[in-house]
Amino acid sequence: QQQVKQSPQSLIVQKGGISIINCAYENTAFDYFPWYQQFPGKGPALLIAIRPDVSEKKEGRFTISFNKSAKQFSLHIMDSQPGDSATYFCAASIRQAGTASKLTFGTGTRLQVTL
């Protein structure tokens, strides 16, 4: 059962354009939504994360928009650069006292930024 659905599977954006990746979740108990960035041959690395008590979080060119009622969140990359070409994963988790909070990942979006 896919608890976090991610789209699109792949995305091609011109340099300077806006990249938008969307995720939808089913479990309303999720209370932490990170985005991970993965370059070929490397492990994923945390890019930006949001909690459901805010609707937007911005860090540099990267913004998460969060819609709690629709159970959706998205990553926007402004002024996309060739160096942003990577695979992006959304994820969701529930904070649990006394044990590890397990991440549920989306299926990933391969972003290619062209010159």
Does residue 95 touch another protein according to CB under 8 A? yes
* Residues from 6 through 65 that contact another protein (CB under 8 A): 6, 9, 32, 34, 41-46, 49
Contact status: 108 vs another protein (CB under 8 A) = yes
Is residue 70 a contact point for another protein (CB under 8 A)? no
92: helix, strand or coil: strand
Among 63, 80, 89, 111, binds another protein (CB under 8 A): 89
Burial (CB count within 10 angstroms: exposed 0-12, middle 13-18, buried 19+), residue 42: exposed
